[in-house]
Copies of this chain bind each other. A is one copy, B any other.
Amino acid sequence: MGMYCRGMARAATTSDAFNAVAEPRRREILNYLALQERPVGEIVDALEMEQPSVSKHLRVLKDVGLVHARRDGRQMFYRTNAEAIRPLYEWAGTFERYWKHQLLRVKERAEAKSVAVKKD
């Protein structure tokens, strides 16, 4: 029977931006850090998360380059590296023409229906 299971259950959160960003909390953090850099403590207060939790999320984000870190005294300032979100944007953008096309078809169908109603 099954001896070795080489199962990578699920890609590591640190494997790429897609996986890192899958976590809602991390998206919140990225949103918060987009405007300006912030020390960890402020993130904790603003987003009402536990400090270790924030640190761990920041670690993941840093590992995939989604945030940059800078030390100032005892504080660590983090800021979003928007550049690292681009691949995501571009992949999703690949589908833009398709959803536009879909909307067109919906519109066409709606118009066809309205014509049919007028015919009645």
Give me the interface of A with B, judged by CB distance under 8 Å. Answer: 10-11, 13, 18-19, 21-24, 27, 30-31, 34, 80-83, 85-86, 88-89, 91-96, 98-99, 101-103
Chain B residues near A83: list those with CB within 8 A: 99, 102-103
| Residue in contact with A11 in the complex, picked from B24, B31, B91, B98, CB distance below 8 Å | B24
Chain B residues near A103: list those with CB within 8 A: 83
Number of copies: 2
Q: In whole angstroms, how far apart are the Cα atoms of A24 and B10 in the complex?
A: 10
Q: In whole angstroms, how far apart are the Cα atoms of A10 and B19 in the complex?
A: 11
Q: Smallest CB-CB separation from A92: which chain B residue?
A: B89
Chain B residues near A96: list those with CB within 8 A: 82, 89
Q: In whole angstroms, how far apart are the Cα atoms of A64 and B102 in the complex?
A: 18
A1 to chain B, nearest CB (A): 18
Q: In whole angstroms, how far apart are the Cα atoms of A94 and B92 in the complex?
A: 13
Query: Would you list 20 pairs from A and B whose C-beta atoms are within 8 A, ordered by A residue?
Result: A10-B10, A10-B23, A11-B22, A11-B23, A18-B22, A19-B22, A22-B22, A30-B95, A34-B94, A34-B95, A82-B99, A82-B102, A83-B99, A83-B103, A85-B92, A85-B99, A86-B92, A88-B92, A89-B89, A89-B96
